[in-house]
Chain A
Amino acid sequence: MGKLIAQRLGLAVVTLAAFSVLIFAGTEILPGDLASAILANNATPENLAALRHQLHLDLPAYVRFWNWASGVAFHADFGTSLASGQPVLDEIIPRLKNTMFLALAAAIVSVPLSVVLGLTAAIKQGSVYDRLVNVVTLMTISVPEYFMGYILITIFAMQLGWFSPISNVTPEMPFFERILYTILPMSTLVLVVVAHMMRMTRASVLAIMASPYIEMAILKGIPKWRIVVQHALPNALAPIISVIAINLAYLITGVVLAEVVFVYPGLGQFMVDSVSKRDMPMVQGCGLIFAAAYIMLNMIADVLAIMTNPRLRHPR
């Protein structure tokens, strides 16, 4: 087991390294550079050249990649932002904290909620409740998240006046107030991710329910909820865990639209800004963090799946 985890960790590091090359290459092939993006139609050839030189944009790409990658790998130094001149990490960390806060809040609500909904729907398969849960979650996942955000704002902020329409949380905000400001964007995310996890839970459990040993249990007269929770769920955990991992990763990396609608100061918006301004160290820093989140969550999901299912420990 320990060897397996070490293997996975090693693989994760290799993936991350490969990813850093991809991120850098990706930022290289974008048209234009920071200098022209900053100056837009205020650019004259003279001040464009001056700005390029000041930002070291006139160095060859491989030199810039080496400077960046070696800094990250050996000194945990992500470089300095081209636009603001501040260290990348200093600027990213407060944003990352906000994003994690929102993602965590959404995860705390959505994961138990979707597992419970999925289980109960599986137990009452075919009932009105089952169909209702299915239809409602299908509806919430079908609405684009920015639109879902607008709907929540219109109802709960503008009509009822319970919450603020903008969620501009600040570091000095008291915890309770912060929660209050986070409720609407958090609810938006919950509504968007619940369906996926709930349906996977329901489907995996039902798939197991069709197997012979469950039939045996039914014949033995064990109550349905016990069959589902004790016999079916443990065997259905692997796919559920991986779908949860994917959704958690999405909560961290894919919430840009919700951030824009709610004016939430998270990392997604930050990266989009940096891309449009060609602030490469920032883009690369965010990209690495997002990649690390994905890789780590997937790794954890893999390990957990292997732990819950002994058969996966001995791949054929």
Chain B
Amino acid sequence: MSELEYLKNQHKLGRLSRREFMGRSAALGASAATIATMVAEVDAHAEETPKSGGTLKLGLGGGSTTDSVDVTSYNDSVMIDTSPAIFNSIVEWGHDGKTKPELAESWEAKPGAQEWIFNLRKDVKFHNGKAMTADDVIYSLNLHRGESKSGGAAAIKNVKDIKKLTDNQISILLESADADFTYNLTDYHMKVVPNGFTDWANPIGTGAYTIEKFEPGVRVLLKKANGDYWKKDRGHADSIEITVINDGAARLNAVISGQVDAINRVDPKAVGLLQKSSKLDLVRAPGGWHTVMAMTVDQAPYTNADLRLAMKYAMDREQIMKALFQGYGQIGNDHPIPKTDPYFNTELAVRKHDPDKATFYFKKAGLTDPKIVLQVSDAAFNGAVDMATLLQSSCQKSGIPMDVKKESADGFWSNVWLKGAFVASYWGGRAAATQMLDTAYQAKAAWNETHWNNEKFEKLLRDAKAETDEAKRKSYIWEMQAMLSDEGGALIPVFKDWLQAGSKKIGGLAPTSGFDMNNGYVCEQAWVKA
């Protein structure tokens, strides 16, 4: 059933034609009647016209009393989903995983993909009536450059210079070529504010909504901004009420009882309960969020490639997927590119759990006293400790001695991550495959958690980023995935699906692979039906 749902979502997103969808679901053994119902459902979904008015009520996990509207400060769902209601980005991350125009109506890369020209829209006004121009965009991007505290700094670190060409055209010069640069601009920090703007208590943007009330960690009230929204087909509800509900059970209760219309982060264990309700829809989307157990390839005993391979064979991916995610995810293959990425290597066979091979490679590694200690904390992600314990027990079956060291959740990211030799962590996934590889596997990257440093890989990555020929890019990126899977230091058992739930009373809640709640665009895309 889960595979069928996956296909249905792909069809809904337009990634799978009707013919393909019908063919592949029939191959899965679905009955003709089931397929017909599903097709009808998708059609109905596509034909729905949004309604204006009403109050959209969202219950979101991932908020804190320390939240702020400051675009440089976002790091969790509530602000990431609130911000697109108030501000716009230059480039939008579409439902199909590709970039599409937002405040920039078009762009082109100069040959070599090192200089980019963006043409900005001329018809966009800020909430205070001022027209949006190149100066505003340049100021906004510069918030994340140089001496910046921004969490988005890494996404545009490659930017060397930003120049204003005309009032509606800018040029961005990069340090090194990057054909995927527009994906970096979809980073959720890259919102556009007026030139020189600093008053985050009274935010001004170009979005469909303005803030009526903001109580960090409690709730956000958004009101439709004065005047017509420049996107004609977005921003349907009159007002939006976001309630911060960090407790999973409370969130579920809120949506079941109708206190809120939609919630994010549905606990996989509760999906069965949700599906019993006739008033709710589960929105499931495979995405790039993945768990990692990172071995640093330059520290003993992990320098030994056979040991790394032994660990990969010892890991029971299916078991981890079932125990931790109730099957709501995709099996990982020790490289960070998700199935939803257009550059996902479809020909690379997923490594199966094989205790015998694990034993074989462990013996081959010939280590007399390997001290394999995984440092882990649930601060990395919920269930990280359980994952470590599962790995430990399956290692035991192959005769690999492995210990789990539970670290304090406080300060995990500052004291353990990037410092230990074998540490659990996670990645939220990146918009483009090259971006992900660049962030965590490039030799000089600050977040290269496995200390992966391979000349051939470096060249492939450079070439892939500079290459605009699709076929060639694909072959480079595919090869990098194979390299990481076979030799890399990261154990990546699973990619987690985004699970959200919405009442049938609202429309426009779509499965997206990038981030939860319509890639964060839920406020301007969802509507109240009745």
Instruction: Name the interface residues of A35-54: CB closer than 8 Å to any CB of B.
Output: 35-47, 50-51, 54
Is B218 a contact of A265 with CB atoms below 8 Å? yes
Q: A83 to B153: give the CA distance in the assembly, Å.
A: 18
> B301 at interface (Cβ–Cβ under 8 A)?
no
CB nearest to B426 among chain A residues: A41
Residues of the A chain whose Cβ atoms lie less than 8 Å from the Cβ of B413: 32, 36-37, 40-41, 43
Which A residues are closer than 8 A to B by beta carbons?
30-33, 35-47, 50-51, 54, 81, 83-86, 91, 94, 150, 153, 157-158, 161, 164-166, 168, 170, 260-263, 265, 269-270, 273-274, 276-277, 279, 282
Is B246 a contact of A274 with CB atoms below 8 Å? no
> B3 at interface (Cβ–Cβ under 8 A)?
no
User: With A32-B410, A32-B414 in contact, do A84 and B66 touch (Cβ < 8 Å)?
Assistant: yes
Q: For residue B126, give the distance in angstroms from its CB to the closest CB of chain A.
A: 22
User: With A50-B148, A277-B64 in contact, do A269 and B217 touch (Cβ < 8 Å)?
Assistant: yes
User: With A42-B75, A260-B246, A261-B250 in contact, do A30 and B446 touch (Cβ < 8 Å)?
Assistant: no
Instruction: Name the interface residues of B139-162: CB closer than 8 Å to any CB of A.
Output: 147-154, 157
Residues of the B chain whose Cβ atoms lie less than 8 Å from the Cβ of A50: 147-149
CB nearest to A94 among chain B residues: B215
Q: State the majority secondary structure of interface residues on B.
A: loop
> B408 at interface (Cβ–Cβ under 8 A)?
yes
> B468 at interface (Cβ–Cβ under 8 A)?
no
Q: A282 to B67: give the CA distance in the assembly, Å.
A: 13
Residues of the B chain whose Cβ atoms lie less than 8 Å from the Cβ of A33: 414
> B389 at interface (Cβ–Cβ under 8 A)?
no
> B243 at interface (Cβ–Cβ under 8 A)?
yes
User: With A38-B66, A265-B215 in contact, do A157 and B253 touch (Cβ < 8 Å)?
Assistant: yes
- Select which of B218, B253, B408, B425 is within 8 A of A168 by beta carbon: B218
User: With A50-B149, A84-B216, A274-B66 in contact, do A44 and B257 touch (Cβ < 8 Å)?
Assistant: no
Q: A150 to B54: give the CA distance in the assembly, Å.
A: 31
Q: For residue B15, give the distance in angstroms from its CB to the closest CB of chain A.
A: 29
Chain B interface bracket (under 10, 10 to 19, 20 to 34, 35 or more): 35 or more
Is B243 a contact of A36 with CB atoms below 8 Å? no
Residues of the B chain whose Cβ atoms lie less than 8 Å from the Cβ of A279: 66
Instruction: Name the interface residues of B376-411: CB closer than 8 Å to any CB of A.
Output: 408, 410-411
User: With A31-B415, A158-B253, A277-B66 in contact, do A165 and B259 touch (Cβ < 8 Å)?
Assistant: yes
Residues of the A chain whose Cβ atoms lie less than 8 Å from the Cβ of B151: 38-39, 42-43, 47
Q: For residue A236, give the distance in angstroms from its CB to the closest CB of chain B.
A: 41
Q: A65 to B430: give the CA distance in the assembly, Å.
A: 41
Residues of the B chain whose Cβ atoms lie less than 8 Å from the Cβ of A30: 410-411
Q: A166 to B257: give the CA distance in the assembly, Å.
A: 10
Is B153 a contact of A46 with CB atoms below 8 Å? yes
Q: A150 to B257: give the CA distance in the assembly, Å.
A: 14
- The interface bits of chain B over 442-481 (1 if a CB of A lies within 8 angstroms of the residue's CB, else 0) are 0000110000000000000000000000000000000000
- Select which of B147, B149, B154, B257 is within 8 A of A165 by beta carbon: B257
- The interface bits of chain B over 411-431 (1 if a CB of A lies within 8 angstroms of the residue's CB, else 0) are 101110100000001100000
> B73 at interface (Cβ–Cβ under 8 A)?
yes
Q: A268 to B75: give the CA distance in the assembly, Å.
A: 22
Is A47 a contact of B153 with CB atoms below 8 Å? yes
- Select which of A40, A44, A81 is within 8 A of B75 by beta carbon: A40
Q: A91 to B151: give the CA distance in the assembly, Å.
A: 24
Is B68 a contact of A83 with CB atoms below 8 Å? yes
Is A157 a contact of B411 with CB atoms below 8 Å? no
- The interface bits of chain B over 96-128 (1 if a CB of A lies within 8 angstroms of the residue's CB, else 0) are 000000000000000000000000000000000
User: With A44-B153, A84-B216 in contact, do A31 and B253 touch (Cβ < 8 Å)?
Assistant: no
Report 22 cross-chain contacts, Cβ distance below 8 Å, ordered by A residue. Answer: A31-B410, A31-B411, A32-B411, A40-B413, A44-B447, A46-B153, A47-B150, A50-B148, A83-B65, A84-B216, A86-B201, A91-B65, A164-B259, A165-B253, A165-B257, A165-B259, A166-B245, A166-B253, A166-B259, A261-B249, A263-B254, A282-B66
Top 5 nearest A-B pairs by Cβ distance? A31-B411, A32-B411, A83-B66, A42-B151, A51-B149
